[in-house]
Amino acid sequence: MMTLATLGLGSLLLAQVSLSWLIWLAIIFFIIALVAYAVGATGVAGMSAGVGRTLLFVCLVLAVIFLIAGLAYHPAV
């Protein structure tokens, strides 16, 4: 049976890839919001900014969860 300690490195790499992808999506939505606002589509701009903000908060929550899990299940050296 595999424990979390044996999966430490793999899950850490997966967490970094997932978090960087979420941050990238949040930045894209913020850019869409800025362009939409500049064009005058304030409804689209507000919606895109809301999605970007939500993705950013999800990324922060996942980062904290992975940090706590990494500290709690760190194998003894």
73: which DSSP letter?
T
Reported pTM: 0.59
Q: Band of the pLDDT at 1, cuts 50, 70, 90?
A: very low
Chain segment 31-52, per-residue pLDDT in tens = 888 888 888 888 888 888 888 8
Structure tokens at 50: 């809301």
* Domain residue limits, the chain: 22-70
- What the block records as the tokens of 68 is 């706590």
Contact between 48 and 36 (Cβ < 8 Å):
yes
pLDDT tens for 22-32 read: 778 788 888 88
pLDDT at residue 62 greater than cutoff 50: yes
